[in-house]
Structure 1
């Protein structure tokens, strides 16, 4: 097939064909023909309007070719939606690679990557048939008559309007009857959802721009003193601000719209609507004033040297070693080369603090991108990145999918973090690994940064696949925090509930607060308590949709499922025995907040978890409160301990380390060490060593022995030997397949059929087995684990066989509703 990237007008009249990506989960991209009059306008990456299954979509052209498909006659492209491509070839290559590697459709990636306002789909409009000459509608039933009469008057109606007229959401059968009777027909309209934001700007009338004319007006002012006050307020505001908006003028002058209207009618002021950015504009700053320590300078030089021979490098810097300052110096170098830089962080919560740091040095060059932005804001960010106006993009996982024009450097901070891996929905990609491939398309460099690198990354450094730079000195020569393991078994228990704040931790918190320092308390569970239990018979309330216990959220007075999001009223009577006594089992951040407020009534307490951080700026607000010392104690889940830098924190308490150490997962030791070491790194980051108290019952766990010494290397050696012995990554590639169906038996049968069809790989397959939580959203789950050697050909053949077997199984009517979810490199 002859693929062409550009076409001259000499081809006008020749029939060409385009492979188009539509935002749907389809096995392969479909082909449409290009009408001859559009030959010179259709290019790779441009959005086009296409019809599929009687609906219209905005698709993206993946490739153009001249050879007609032999199996079918493609339908024509209907229209071109933009004047220039939405994507560059590098993004389309990235999508192809992601679809192949993560076993998904390019339409899935389009859904994840492209802002919602670019992913148009059609809206049905019912049109009155002007050639319908039968004015007698009496033969229609009541609903048909009501709709036909409305149509005869308005001539066209949208679906939502029809639903209101008929007071029903089930309107399609009625519409179908009217179409069959030739009363109307359906027309599909593709709607552009993005709208330019406009604001009203106020300027002085051109006749008064002359100072003498303005002075004469003011000297001869008659009545209307309020209008005079407003005019003077405008003149003052004009001197202090470059442009004056109507809303700002009325607010600062405490004036009414009527007073402004009077000045407009007298041709003294002029109102004009203009397009404005939804994103705030910042001043440009060109210099980076940072003094690096000797250790930081050596690390920076080592990274630069490493990039001479290897495009990828790991900066392994202990907590509070000043990795961010090194990143800033590197970013400056790439900006001087007029290159774009992507700075990736695993959590939105981290961006607030890093934003403030980077803005001090780069000002307007910084663009932020994460899931809290509105669809219109995302469009504007997309366009800024694509045009090259956005030089530095700071973002979470999805920022890797932006259309960079000339990418020079990708920084993946906290590269070990599990948040870089998307688990739901498809595509289930790892943004860190995707960044490594994406950089190759630009010949860019990737700097991975972490105090606790993932075993896979550190192993790649040992194998010389990545460069390696170690920064083992905390900034300012501050000592690493002292870690104290507190054995909860040694404490007397007065109640059934677990101890939340031990006497030792309480004493230490009091001491720290008396010194004017701050405390972080960490618990990796949100809500009030993970579950409640009947004190009489032991019954535990579970979600009706999932096989999981419900979490108690006291502030909402609800029981909530953290898997499907369903909320239930709080239970006061046990349905099993009729008892009224319920016990709170374990504890979450909400209950900790309540206990802390009781024990330390003078302290100002804040909480940061998914329940308390909802709005776009909520995380930034609570971080700023803590930075400004308006909070004494901050309670939180993982988002409060990863990468944040608070100079006044003297004590960190881990309230329930057992919940981190006791998971049935081959990565549990690695993840526990990473999380607890990151937690400890929040303490004593400036002038003196901080203290960390870890409350735990299993005090002999090997991870704790490594942790007390801050000994990453010993943990790595211990874990890598176990991985090699039991054949786990980084020595093999993992693919996990989840098989789901609302009928448990059907799901199990489909899972066994899948394994039967993969007999060639039977020695690589474990399962099928039911996971611990075997039903979510009324779908029963079976899982299959595949361990494959790190051989590209074997992995490719397995993926092909897996997809073919899934297609074969879904040909049977019984299994058409079965969902097969492959997860490549699962967390």
Structure 2
């Protein structure tokens, strides 16, 4: 018997291993096994298929070990991985690498690290585990090859697996973002004093050490109110020290006990919906329910602040009461903190969160809770699609238009929304897509009866849409070549809003201080050494940064070409706006929300809570402030550079600009309808700005869909974008032209390019791009994908082009 096994490598097809007789009754699809590939490389792979067909072209090796008694993934997930690999032109190994937490992907290069909080008591371990734990205790980290030497056996995966399970050690990757303790010390009253008389006698006869007495009383109070007392909480409440606690334990009054605790704190499981839907919401909810009875997918098109979340909550309640699981997808983790608080209020501990900011250990905990069916609602980013749901009933894809649903690098370059729809087709779940500004493709599918469509076109509480005004920056006095940052009407509006005790959001889609510096004498611009792109100056860190490769350079004060010190700062980012506001409004409380200011795990949440609690008057931010956040007290929204959103060489530019501006406008006047939006532009008569001013999504859709039809862009075609990369410009150009030439006969009429992109060098690799616009015919698309991969293999067979990287991106955004 043989097994087709997926290992977390980019192999074009899965390798086959032979099953030793002793493992035959232990194996089933979804179980991890230890296998050998090449000379010494070992991997934990996942069994995909068991069969009796011996490979004819090679001699298969034997499986070395079985790592799990039960499958770590659900059967449908193997089918999901296969579809993702096929559709997005990558390997199942790459999908596995993206889908599984690191603990499940052991390999011979894996480093295991000692868990300091386990301590040095190894009495519960067996002989082999003890030897590894001792070595780890001394060395702190070991490679799996070193573990093999210590034990003098090759089959170490099961032993390491057990040590990870017992929390003696963890995989090195989990250290990258590890932040929470795995064990916590709890304080207990010694058995002798559980008798009330004995305890009263002790307290009544207490004479010395008043601090210890205070500590004991604090313990008794916490014990009565909470049922259990952690050491950290007790010391904080009593203001006592470790020494005073130790004195009480030495006297035999209290004792300390280490316990394993959940990294994630869950509330009691309880469903309590304490609101009623408005008539408009009630009607939308009814229509969505009816629609999902007969269809797989439904689009809820609800204007900003129409209360789509209330409809979602009622729908989630319906599915949870049936005992089914719900996946609530959000494009950005920035959104999770506000929504999680709302959902916890209604669903308590039924909810879990899953995204990339969690450590690998936490991900394993959530993984197991979802797999057992214990966790009923998962709120997460696109990666939560890979969780092993037991009974998935509903997937809600909120802000479905958002580009963050599309994975860019590495493979699989999947779209979370589209993958969710396929996942629903194999699990029998239903999908609700929600947005105030749906993507053109989704709205077209809904209008053409492929999806159900429900519209919710009035704001919650019958609040009117915000009033939108254009500020023509051409009429604002300024120095030549300078950009208007805060026009007088906007600055006056900010001051007036703050005076009323209300809040302001300012949107600028560039982070940093200045996007580029230019020499006024010779025109030199500071550029990255590895990329053909200008460097952005970040004043906060006083560094020049490349936003493509991440390289950091010291600031420059003189032109490196002509030596002049006349450097002009062109354009502006969020840092510069923040600084300008601090000068113009010295008494205002100003904060910034962008990629640089919210680096750590809880920074988003802290900033959002401060804004909700009215501790911030003006919030300056990038796209992070646009998406789905709900603030009661915002009266004014300023879009500082609308022209910057409209000037991109991309067929989706008008759709994107409308979505961003309409979404950020929707943050204003969400409760009392007093919202105002000021849009600064040098071309206020631009058609997209007119649609934004009227909140006219349908007008924008009708105009854009005709242009898409005319030029054969999605939704009328399917696009595959190819990027060629190499360290030498001539080679990458030659390779791209050779590749395109080979495809000329079958696909010539669908090919655009190849050509150099605007930024033609990133991370020291020169780039060429090519686009295929294919008809919406599944056979043609499947044949084309196969031909593209074959052509890449033919290209790499040529010695000259062997190191040219070809990156396919299906349904590129």
Fold agreement, TM-score > 0.5: yes
For residue 781 of structure 1, report the CA deviation from its aligned partner.
0.7
- Of the three residues 760, 774, 783, the one matched with 1:774 is 760
Alignment check: 8 A CA contact 1:123 1:189 kept: no
The reply to whether residue 73 of structure 1 matches residue 59 of structure 2 is yes
The reply to whether residue 519 of structure 1 matches residue 504 of structure 2 is yes
Q: How does 1:3-402 map to 2 (within 5 A)?
A: 16-53=1-38, 54-123=40-109, 190=157, 191-192=160-161, 196=167, 197-219=182-204, 226-402=211-387
Structure 2 CA distance for partners of 1:536 and 1:753, relative to 1, 3 Å: same
CA distance in 2, matches of 1:649, 1:204: 51
Q: Deviations over 1:161-202 (max 9, x none)?
A: 7999xxxx9xx9xx9xxxxxx9x9996854555764222222
* Map of 2:178 onto structure 1: none
SS at match of 2:797: coil
The reply to whether residue 452 of structure 1 matches residue 437 of structure 2 is yes
Q: Deviations over 1:14-70 (max 9, x none)?
A: xx2211111111111111222211222222111211122312211111111122222
Alignment check: 8 A CA contact 2:542 2:554 kept: yes
> Please, what is the CA RMSD of the aligned residues?
2.5
CA distance in 1, matches of 2:77, 2:373: 15
SS at match of 1:122: coil
* Map of 2:476 onto structure 1: 491
* Map of 2:401 onto structure 1: 416
For residue 212 of structure 1, report the CA deviation from its aligned partner.
3.1
* Map of 1:760 onto structure 2: 746
Structure 2 CA distance for partners of 1:59 and 1:718, relative to 1, 3 Å: same
* Map of 1:5 onto structure 2: none
- More displaced stretch, 507-516 vs 401-410: 507-516
* Map of 1:138 onto structure 2: none
* Map of 2:114 onto structure 1: none
CA distance in 2, matches of 1:89, 1:206: 50
The reply to whether residue 809 of structure 1 matches residue 809 of structure 2 is no
SS at match of 2:18: strand
For residue 352 of structure 1, report the CA deviation from its aligned partner.
1.2
SS at match of 2:523: coil
CA distance in 2, matches of 1:227, 1:318: 60
Alignment check: 8 A CA contact 1:367 1:390 kept: yes
CA distance in 1, matches of 2:612, 2:791: 55
Q: Deviations over 1:232-251 (max 9, x none)?
A: 33222211212122332333
The reply to whether residue 557 of structure 1 matches residue 542 of structure 2 is yes
- Of the three residues 694, 713, 717, the one matched with 2:679 is 694
SS at match of 1:810: helix
For residue 418 of structure 1, report the CA deviation from its aligned partner.
0.6
CA distance in 1, matches of 2:648, 2:530: 24
List alignment gaps of at least 5 residues for structure 1: 1-15, 126-153, 176-181
* Map of 2:119 onto structure 1: none
CA distance in 2, matches of 1:646, 1:439: 33
CA distance in 2, matches of 1:459, 1:124: 47
- More displaced stretch, 495-504 vs 575-584: 495-504
* Map of 1:7 onto structure 2: none
Alignment check: 8 A CA contact 1:194 1:376 kept: no
Structure 2 CA distance for partners of 1:225 and 1:476, relative to 1, 3 Å: closer
Alignment check: 8 A CA contact 2:598 2:604 kept: yes
Q: Deviations over 1:779-820 (max 9, x none)?
A: 111111111111111111111111111112212332221111
The reply to whether residue 826 of structure 1 matches residue 802 of structure 2 is no
* Map of 1:647 onto structure 2: 632
Structure 2 CA distance for partners of 1:479 and 1:228, relative to 1, 3 Å: closer
For residue 546 of structure 1, report the CA deviation from its aligned partner.
0.4
CA distance in 1, matches of 2:110, 2:439: 50
CA distance in 1, matches of 2:253, 2:59: 65
CA distance in 1, matches of 2:109, 2:463: 62
List alignment gaps of at least 5 residues for structure 2: 112-131, 168-181
CA distance in 2, matches of 1:123, 1:731: 46
**TM-score, scaled relative to structure 2:** 0.91
Structure 2 CA distance for partners of 1:251 and 1:509, relative to 1, 3 Å: closer
For residue 340 of structure 1, report the CA deviation from its aligned partner.
0.5
The reply to whether residue 602 of structure 1 matches residue 553 of structure 2 is no
Alignment check: 8 A CA contact 2:35 2:64 kept: yes
Q: Deviations over 1:675-708 (max 9, x none)?
A: 1111111111111231111100122211112111
CA distance in 2, matches of 1:327, 1:35: 50
Structure 2 CA distance for partners of 1:194 and 1:720, relative to 1, 3 Å: farther
Alignment check: 8 A CA contact 2:32 2:68 kept: yes
Alignment check: 8 A CA contact 1:117 1:194 kept: no
CA distance in 2, matches of 1:746, 1:161: 47
The reply to whether residue 583 of structure 1 matches residue 568 of structure 2 is yes
SS at match of 1:429: coil
Alignment check: 8 A CA contact 2:64 2:155 kept: no
- Of the three residues 457, 467, 473, the one matched with 1:472 is 457
The reply to whether residue 442 of structure 1 matches residue 427 of structure 2 is yes
The reply to whether residue 547 of structure 1 matches residue 547 of structure 2 is no
CA distance in 1, matches of 2:165, 2:628: 35
For residue 217 of structure 1, report the CA deviation from its aligned partner.
4.3
